Amino acid sequence: QMLQKVEVTDPGDSTFLIGEQTDREEFASANAALEAEGLRPAVADPVLLGITKASLQTRSFISAASFQETTRVLTEAAVSGRQDTLDGLKENVIVGRLIPAGTGSVMKRLRRIAADRDKVIADERAKSTPALESVDAPAGFAEETTETEA
């Protein structure tokens, strides 16, 4: 975690700024996208963070809040509307969930697959619902409904 950040030295055709510190994975994915489009990738040097700084700059604000400066970390997360995806061990232990290791990682993967399938089903239902509403009611149906309500 102390080597998870890089400092941009040449932004290339990216949106990064010179001197900006960004996550190594985010930087790599941005460069991969640039190279796929035939654009010039950014260049960066690794940054060695101290233990305190590395702990506070983690993606998980719950993990960062458990280390130091709890009030500041939680306030910044609340004001900026951040959501913690609970990917690491520490944040899952803090909230009392199954850790993402062993059976915990399998369950998380299965939940993600189920959520993706649910989304596909919901999208299909949303597409078919307008088609059903445009179908005309059978002749005499409206009159029968009105008579029974009266």
Provide mean pLDDT across the span 108-121. Answer: 87
Residue 57 lies in a domain: yes
The answer to whether position 78 is within a domain reads yes
Q: What is the DSSP letter of 101?
A: S
Flag whether 110 is in a domain: no
Specify the residue for token string 């690794």.
46
pTM for the model stands at: 0.43
pLDDT at 21: 85
What is the pLDDT averaged over residues 4-21?
86
Residue 122 lies in a domain: no
Cα angle 123, 128, 129 (rounded to 5 degrees) comes to: 100
Task: Give the number of domains in the chain.
Answer: 1
* Residue 52 covered by a domain: yes
User: Is 148 contained in some domain?
Assistant: no
**Closest listed residue to residue 87, CA positions, set 76, 98, 77:** 98
CA 57 to chain centre: 17
Tell me the residue length of the chain: 150
Does residue 131 belong to any structural domain of this protein? no
Instruction: Residue 60: give the domain boundaries.
Output: 5-83
Model pLDDT for residues 86-102, shown as the tens digit of each residue: 888 888 888 888 777 77
**Domain membership flag for residue 107:** no
With 90 as the cut, is the pLDDT of residue 79 above it?
yes
